[in-house]
Amino acid sequence: MTSSSSSSSAPLPPHYSPPDQPLKLIIDSDPGVDDVLAFLLALSLPHVHLLAITLTFGNTTLDYARDNVLRTFEVLKKQDELEKRTGGEGGSRWHRAVGPGARKIEVALGAEGPLKGVERFTASYFHGRDGLSSISSLPGDPHPLPIPPPGSDSHPRDKPFFPAPLSLSSHSSPQLILSLLASHPPGTIRIAALGPVTNLAEAWLQDPQTFSRVGLISIMGGSLDEPGNTSPVAEFNTYADPWAAKVLFEESVGHGCLSGRRGRRLPIELLPLDITGRHTVQYGNLMKAEGPLGNFITSILTHPRKMTNSYAPYGLPFSAERDDLFQAHDPLAVAHACFAPSEAGKGGEAYHQYHEYLEAHQSQNDASSGVQEGEQREDSTGWVYTERRFAVEAEGKLTRGMCIVE
């Protein structure tokens, strides 16, 4: 298991060479405010081909998660129209992603709760009742669901309309992940996991051979050396489904189908709270844009901003630099999936060197029977990796979802 951090907050890291082929990405997500901002990042990158958004419970329930994707794309289409009116087709930043002729993006519905147990936790305390600051109940519904064409049998609650480029998959999230991995060459699809990893664990359990074709899994989750954000010791995603995290992080290691993989493990790179929590943007800077997209972003950030501001230290004057900060957890995981050196194409050498390093490090640990933690390595694009060993607590009441570092 490794964790990663970025030394650059620029959208295009220095020394970054886009791959020769589009980078194929699946986003597994529980949108969620920071998930939506992570979608925008992926959609804004010309070298990224977003194949699918596979949904899970998490920040909100599955039906709201689905609606939040639909509302986001409706806003992007309005923004695209506005930017085309003022700057022509080439003047729209979103035309490639949502304009006529844009590549299809499949949306699948997945886990409604954790792998085990009956209790489902959501993060409505932070993200609002619907996951996006309750925009679905704003007067006049300013960020509405797509309007179905006349004669459509769509229904807003049970069967909403999915206009292009979105299409609702007939597969569940785990099935769609497996189907895409099976139909593309091994190692060519990356997954950014932004919620509880229930869908990924289910896909692995259903068909480890096919799942192991994945090129890279960038996961926002866990907290290693710092307090949690859901309990004193646990980050939300590992808290919401510690059983799935255990399957993916621990039980998969050494499986026969991973014998061709370095370290006989899935290519998981974890972005824990320790790192993502430090990647912050002032709310004031995120909420100043105008137009349909600017208004939407301002609306969805309202509830998290209130919550964040309420954590300001008692007795000190309010400071925007210290107290008014949005933590970009999920956008960082998408940035990693989109910019970490790739196995194929330019940057392949750095990726290869990184995995050789991990293998050497693993052999060294095995030989000495001691874990040498904390060694760092930086790749050619500025990501810094540290080898960490930990177990996820799935049974304890007070410690549910805690990552216990060896």
Q: Kindly report the three-state secondary structure assignment for every residue of the chain.
A: CEEEEECCCCCCCCCCCCCCCCEEEEEEECCCHHHHHHHHHHHHCCCEEEEEEEECCCCCCHHHHHHHHHHHHHHHHHHHHHHHHHHCHHHCCCHHHHCCCCCCEEEEECCCCCCCCCCCCCCHHHHCCCCCCCHHHCCCCCCCCCCCCCCCCCECCCECCCCCCEEEEEEEHHHHHHHHHHHCCCCCEEEEECCCCHHHHHHHHHCHHHHCCCCEEEEECCCCCCCCCCCCCCCHHHHHCHHHHHHHHHHCCCCHHHCCCHHHCCCEEEECHHHHCCCEEEHHHHCCCCHHHHHHHHHHHHHHHHHHHHCCCCCCCCCHHHHCEEECHHHHHHHHHHHCCCCCCCCHHHHHHHHHHHHHHHHHHHHHCCCCCCCEEECCCCEEEEECCEEECCCCCCCCCCEEEC
Residue among 51 and 334 whose Cβ is closer to Ca ion: 334
In angstroms, give the least distance from the CB of 362 to Ca ion.
Answer: 30
Binding residues for Ca ion, total number by CB under 5 A: 6
Nearer to Ca ion, 35 or 269 (CB): 35
Among 114, 174, 195, 304, binds Ca ion (CB under 5 A): 195
User: Which range of residues in 151-159, 188-196, 304-312, 337-345 is near Ca ion by CB under 5 A?
Assistant: 188-196
Least CB distance to Ca ion at residue 194 (A): 4
Residue number, 37 or 45, with CB nearest to Ca ion: 37
Smallest distance, Ca ion to C-beta of residue 30, A: 5
Q: Could you say which residues in the range 18-57 bind Ca ion, by CB under 5 A?
A: 30, 32, 35
Binding of Ca ion by 194 (CB under 5 A):
yes
Instruction: State which residue, 194 or 340, has the beta carbon closest to Ca ion.
Output: 194
Nearest Cα neighbor of 326 from 307, 339, 351 is 307
Which x/- pattern, by CB under 5 A, does the window 145-184 give for Ca ion? ----------------------------------------
Question: Minimum distance between the CB of residue 220 and Ca ion, rounded to whole angstroms?
Answer: 7
Nearer to Ca ion, 59 or 169 (CB): 59
Q: Could you tell me which stretch among 72-80, 262-270, 324-332, 340-348 binds Ca ion (CB under 5 A)?
A: 324-332
The answer to whether 271 and 219 have CB atoms below 8 angstroms apart is yes
Supply the minimum distance, in Å, between the C-beta of residue 229 and Ca ion. 12
**Range in contact with Ca ion (rule: CB under 5 A) among 42-50, 259-267, 327-335, 383-391:** 327-335
Choice between 330 and 393, CB closer to Ca ion = 330
Asked if 241 is part of the footprint of Ca ion (rule: CB under 5 A), the reply reads no
In whole angstroms, the minimum distance from the beta carbon of 195 to Ca ion comes to 4
Q: CB 127 → Ca ion: shortest distance, Å? A: 9
Closer to Ca ion by Cβ: residue 18 or 195: 195
Least Å from the CB of residue 314 to Ca ion: 29
Interface with Ca ion (CB under 5 A): 30, 32, 35, 194-195, 330
